[in-house]
């Protein structure tokens, strides 16, 4: 995670925000007398929220674990070539 001071952030606001959006990296902004804060793109924030939602859903995590286990055992669902073509065409 990159880090800048609040003064650097303020001085280069537009360029810094464009870099955060383009790089998909979180930026930590430090403040001498107060709490630090982070800057990330809305797209990245939404992705993080979705990840937290999945990780917090024990039923869904159990389904994922079961699916992974059957896949590694070669017992999982095998899509047809037509289904694979449809998926690849997305």
Residue 77 pLDDT more than 90? no
Instruction: Let me know whether 69 and 50 are in one domain.
Output: yes
Q: Are 1 and 27 in contact (CB under 8 A)?
A: yes
Instruction: Let me know whether 36 and 10 are in one domain.
Output: yes
Give the separation between CA 51 and CA 45, rounded to whole angstroms: 10
Report pLDDT digits (tens) over 38-47.
999 999 999 9
Share of the chain above pLDDT 90, in %: 76
| Mean pLDDT on 7-17 | 97
Q: Which domain holds residue 69?
A: 41-75
Report pLDDT digits (tens) over 20-62.
999 999 999 999 988 999 999 999 999 999 999 999 999 999 9
At 7, which CATH number? 3.40.1620.10
Q: Phi first, then psi: give them for residue 12, nearest 5 degrees.
A: -125, 40
Query: How many domains does the structure of the chain reveal?
Result: 2
Terminal CA-CA length for the chain: 33
């Amino acid at each position: 995670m990159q880090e800048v001071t609040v003064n650097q952030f303020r001085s280069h606001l537009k360029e810094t925000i464009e870099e955060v959006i383009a790089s998909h990296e979180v930026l930590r902004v430090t403040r001498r007398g107060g709490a630090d804060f982070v800057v990330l793109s809305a797209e990245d924030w939404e992705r993080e929220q979705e990840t937290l939602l999945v990780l917090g859903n024990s039923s869904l995590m159990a389904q994922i674990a079961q699916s992974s286990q059957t896949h590694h055992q070669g017992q999982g669902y095998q899509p047809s070539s037509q289904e694979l073509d449809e998926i690849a065409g997305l």
